[in-house]
Structure 1
């Protein structure tokens, strides 16, 4: 007896490699569907809190019209989403410093991308992997419309104009964070300089550090002082071959020494010829 089609209609589609295939449909009126592959993100070498191993979903073949906000809204039906990260190709998490405002970030390349979705609960990963293959995820709905084509270009064009008050606010916020980081860096260097005191003879005073930290006898300040001390020693030494006449005399002495050795070798060869013991080979 042939198996019933309705029995397998609500099953998830798992392909080799452990990926689960999900169907994307741009809108309810669309006929074509797009396929994405999802898999639980488990990389032992990556020990970062931004991608916890038990709550991170790795997604392949994300279409260009899906932004981070669209992906977050799309997968929120499986559980609350903590963060979404879209990249051009898979890779480890890289902290690129403070997050800049949209006015100072370059435009991203348009194309299919990969994504890392972090859920707040681990059970959401199981819900995504068990989603039926024949039930597509609708991207654009009346509640969350997604613009494409001419409407998207018009929206991007309008958003490209920066309002002076918002731009000034973003600049002020960035400069405040920059000044704060500079003050913290200067304070840290000052503390290191005070902890690692070096006297004139080159001895380093090792002091007790804070609880849970290791003292570093060779700090950046002490290394700079040691380099300065070595440069002063080299300056005190006599400068050799500094003047042109010194260099010329050195060359003359070297040539005279070579000529002397050449004459000695000629005399030794002549003596061997006279004694009939000359063996050139």
Structure 2
């Protein structure tokens, strides 16, 4: 592996603006069409995840649809031992919200071009990939590791989509155990926050002296909703009706029209009662 890294270091790499190194890619050795990958060392200050160490992660753009994670891992293993490969539709953080779902319950992935994060076991592998010459293409499908495309790929994906009932039941049971555990932790956390947020009717919070190492009380969703409800009540009390002159005139007109309508209805009712009480001997 050391001789291979020296060979890459001696060759000339093609670097474009932005610090990206261009790597040429061909599907097989007989293919004439050539595809370009753009690689760069992953250096993001906001990245705090241990899954992408800054000194051993390679950021790759323009990965074609026929390259899966296994294919990318085999493709870049010539630069060094690959620890993990992560393919995504768009660049972003590796932190995923919510539980980790099985591949059988995930939504259908986008079949377009992707970006990748390749984590090597040694930092020297990143430099080897960045110094690879552009005139030496990377071969995707080889005799040792053939890659299926077209109808053969669709047939293989269709076969892989099936799962044994016992394995499916095991996956569902494992997910439900994790779900129940996460729900229990959330309920315990909410009960603790409710105890800390014992507010009276006026909105005062009882503050007790605690340990110096304890952090300030966080603003939870329940506390924010109660505060918003109190503010809306105060706003309704302070709201001024008929603030403008034209509003006051319109209100008076509507009130007078309503009184006239009631007066006419009362007149009709009284006339009806008088007609009913009139004496009729014949």
Give per-residue Cα distances to partners, 1:45-69, cap 9 Å, x unaligned: 5454443332221212211110112
Maintained 8 Å contact 1:12/1:129? no
Indicate the residue corresponding to 2:79 in structure 1.
78
Indicate the residue corresponding to 1:104 in structure 2.
105
Indicate the residue corresponding to 1:24 in structure 2.
25
Maintained 8 Å contact 1:37/1:59? yes
Give per-residue Cα distances to partners, 1:61-81, cap 9 Å, x unaligned: 211110112112221222232
Aligned residue-pair number:
241
Maintained 8 Å contact 1:11/1:133? no
Indicate the residue corresponding to 1:268 in structure 2.
none
Instruction: Report the Cα distance in structure 1 between the residues aligned to 2:68 and 2:195, rounded to whole angstroms.
Output: 50
Instruction: Report the Cα distance in structure 2 between the residues aligned to 1:210 and 1:233, rounded to whole angstroms.
Output: 36
Instruction: Report the Cα distance in structure 2 between the residues aligned to 1:140 and 1:208, rounded to whole angstroms.
Output: 67
Distance apart, 1:189 and its partner CA: 0.7
CA RMSD of superposed structures (Å): 3.8
Give per-residue Cα distances to partners, 1:18-69, cap 9 Å, x unaligned: 2222222323444444321211122345454443332221212211110112
Instruction: Report the Cα distance in structure 2 between the residues aligned to 1:16 and 1:228, rounded to whole angstroms.
Output: 56
Distance apart, 1:143 and its partner CA: 3.5
Indicate the residue corresponding to 1:119 in structure 2.
120
Indicate the residue corresponding to 1:12 in structure 2.
12
Give per-residue Cα distances to partners, 1:123-170, cap 9 Å, x unaligned: 221111122333332222344332112221111111122321122112
Q: Does 1:152 align with 2:146?
A: no
**Greater fraction of residues in helix:** 2
SS of residue in 2 equivalent to 1:141: coil
Cα distance, 1:221–1:86 mapped onto 2, change above 3 Å: closer
Q: TM-score, normalised by structure 1?
A: 0.69
Distance apart, 1:225 and its partner CA: 5.9
Indicate the residue corresponding to 2:42 in structure 1.
41
Maintained 8 Å contact 2:80/2:120? yes
Instruction: Report the Cα distance in structure 1 between the residues aligned to 2:216 and 2:127, rounded to whole angstroms.
Output: 47
Indicate the residue corresponding to 2:189 in structure 1.
188
Structure 1 gap segments, 5+ residues each: 1-7, 235-239, 241-249, 257-281
